[in-house]
Structure 1
Amino acid sequence: MLHLLVADGNDRAGRETHLTVCDKTSAETYAGILTKLAPDARCHLVAPADADAVLPRALSECDALVLTGSILHVEEGGPAVTRQCDLVRAALEAGLPVFGSCWGVQVAATLAGGRAARNPRGPEYGLARAISRTEAGAGHPLLDGRPPAWDAPAIHDDAVIAPPPGSRVLAGNDRLDVQAIEIRLGDGVFWGTQYHPELDLDEVAAMLRLSAQGVVEAGLCPDEASLHAYADAMRDLHHDPEGRRDLAWGLGVTAEVLVPERRRREIRNFLDHLVRPRTRRA
């Protein structure tokens, strides 16, 4: 059996806000996907931003750590950020494979000597478009199965602006140079994406509603009513992908986003190429 530690990147207030539009926390979303991809896995959830958080299972007894997205900002610092950096650092130094999306990438890059901050090229809301491999990403197992260019769910203002020394930037697009990255620290390896391979379109829609003001301020929608109509279309497409091909066409949603097995490639690749080989060696 695999034992996977799933760390929710949000603080208590962030988790409560998330639950106003989703029926589960970010950590619960990840746990559900991980157990679908690896039926032999048991997920142990923790909220390391909280001062009273206690690991449900020792790092030495876990096979991997996964860090979710968050509404926090690494550059603002503070105890909630520091505690998460400390957990990821401890996991990597203990030799654990670590995966993170969005916030997870920003935390890993920061603790390894890089910089995460507001993206000067602007935010990505809904989908990150036309992602492609860098030279370092060609043939990298994190991106196994991806076509030459792909779209992916994305919700972020912040991003990795300066990757840490010695890291390998694996993919980018015209909005952001660091869409996927490998970071090595101690005996551990971090793989992550700025985009969200874990999010279904209904969850993307819910998170867009939370970000409505930011979407309008970024000039991506003329007003919040238009944003909610866009989110409604995403939600409806999620619930009826075969019957609402008109919505897929109108939203520009391809199979790389619409088909769960394709959307979640990076998570499966992490399990297959980093986590399972390590457990077989143990």
Structure 2
Amino acid sequence: MNGAPRFLVVDGYLKAAREELAAGGAAVAGDLYADMLKQASSGSECDIVYPSDPDAGLPTGATLDNYDGIAWTGCSLTVFDDISEVRAQLDFARACFKAGIPGFGSCWAAQIAVVAAGGKCAANPKGREMGIARKIALTAEGRAHPLYEGKADVFDGYISHVDEITEMPEGAVRLAGNDFTHVQSVSVDYLGGKFWGLQYHPEYDLHEMARLTWCRIDKLMELGFFKDRQAGEDYVALLETLHRDPSRTDIAWLLGIDDDVMNESYRRTEVRNWLKHLVLPTMAERR
């Protein structure tokens, strides 16, 4: 063992949904998360598991105890749907808690952790929060939490979701929220394990947001985000142009985008803090 963490990335998307994203030019969620973790922790290793696939399982010979951190991606499933793919992920989340391996993740990840621990989620009555989550504000608990060391009290983040956390389980603490979504981040202690979850997406960049928007244009038109397809394609083009040329302050001004989302290091502050304050100390105890 090289002393660097070994991560398990849990990509809950159905295979068809992964293929749809890839066809639209978006990175598969598991690959995107693995790349982020490897960048944040030099020399680390990542395995990816797809629990929605039939006969899914850990790599041959691996157990949860082989991992130093478990990171969950977003997912297009609905956590309160009583279907086998969701039940399997809830069971797996409980097993991860029980194993005591530090957990982290985005969007679906926060929801699955909360529901696995006894909380509840529901469709947000305000509808879909898409693109940029504005004015995410830390709670008093969030301001004191190691997850947010070095983060401003108020910030923006990439976002795409309809469901939200509505009832916190015992052992959970709300760390941030905004006017659209009451719970934008959460810490969950359950069965001896700890999970730090975000509703927003530090793994995204402007290009990934553009590709996700492209894949969802028809749905976003129906919801009133774009008046027609051309408007959606124009928006995607602006995101892609700004991604290629961050000096285009005219586009950044037009879209209301700043370093909260464009500065990769700042955007991923929470990931580094999870490593520093949860993964590495737990590794030291276990080894």
State the distance in 2 between where 1:225 and 1:156 align: 23
Runs of 4+ in 1 over 6 A off after TM superposition: none
Secondary structure of the equivalent of 1:55?
coil
Q: Are 1:187 and 2:192 an aligned pair?
A: yes
Q: Are 1:276 and 2:254 an aligned pair?
A: no
Q: Which amino acid aligns with 1:276?
A: L
Query: 2:214 maps to what in 1?
Result: 209
State the distance in 2 between where 1:98 and 1:258 align: 25
Q: Which amino acid aligns with 1:65?
A: I
Shift of 1:161: 2.0
Q: Are 1:63 and 2:68 an aligned pair?
A: yes
State the distance in 2 between where 1:74 and 1:62 align: 25
- Which of 43, 46, 61 pairs up with 2:46? 43
Tell me the TM-score normalized by structure 1. 0.96
Q: Give the conservation status (yes or no) of the 8 Å contact 1:9–1:104.
A: no
State the distance in 1 between where 2:77 and 2:51 align: 13
Alignment of 1:148-159 (within 5 A): 148-159=153-164
Query: 1:32 maps to what in 2?
Result: 35
Query: 2:258 maps to what in 1?
Result: 254
Tell me the TM-score normalized by structure 2. 0.94
- Gaps of at least 5 residues in structure 2 are none
- Which of 98, 101, 108 pairs up with 1:96? 101
- Identity across matched positions, percent: 38
Shift of 1:23: 5.2
State the distance in 2 between where 1:166 and 1:62 align: 23
Q: Give the conservation status (yes or no) of the 8 Å contact 1:155–1:208.
A: no
State the distance in 2 between where 1:52 and 1:231 align: 37
* 1:105-151 deviation per Cα after TM superposition (whole angstroms, max 9, x unaligned): 11111111111221112211111000001122122111122212110
Q: Which amino acid aligns with 2:25?
A: C
Q: Give the aligned length.
A: 281
Query: 2:271 maps to what in 1?
Result: 267
Q: Are 1:167 and 2:146 an aligned pair?
A: no
Q: Which amino acid aligns with 2:12?
A: G
Shift of 1:160: 1.2
Secondary structure of the equivalent of 1:45?
strand
Q: Which amino acid aligns with 2:281?
A: P
Using the TM superposition, name which of 194-203 and 132-141 deviates more: 132-141
Shift of 1:234: 1.0
Query: 1:7 maps to what in 2?
Result: 10
